[in-house]
Homo-oligomer: A and B are copies of this chain.
């Protein structure tokens, strides 16, 4: 964890940005909530617990900076807020998401499932892919508690 902070610090320094206390607090919140997909407001509220004097605008600026540096990815599930997602270290691709339309949970798929598809697109459409966004909307494993029967959505 400390080492990740250090690496992010180096990344900032290499572009002559500083890891200020506010920025560090923000990064720590992201690290501590890596599972979640926090909105700027969510991050703000969590950062406020460890650095009560921070302002919302600062959080926005920091998240924007981290997005630029590719430390986080800014994603949008269509609910009107941007969410910020720590990029897996070493991963050059954006991970995929599973959004449950029942409970709203967002799960991640770390594997890159698009290798073949990207090849087809690059060749077939003559398009040089730099990044991708793939999100599936549907019913998550918790919500259809599929224990062997096909009957989904019984009642409720």
Contact = CB atoms under 8 A, between A and B. Distances in A.
Contacts of A122: 152
Contacts of A107: 125, 127
Contact of A131 (B114, B120, B138, B152): B138
A78 to B, nearest CB: 5
B146 A126 contact: yes
A139 interface: yes
Contact of A78 (B76, B116, B140, B144): B76
B144 A136 contact: no
Interface of A: 74-76, 78, 82, 98, 101, 107, 109, 113-114, 116-118, 120-122, 125-141, 144, 146, 152-153
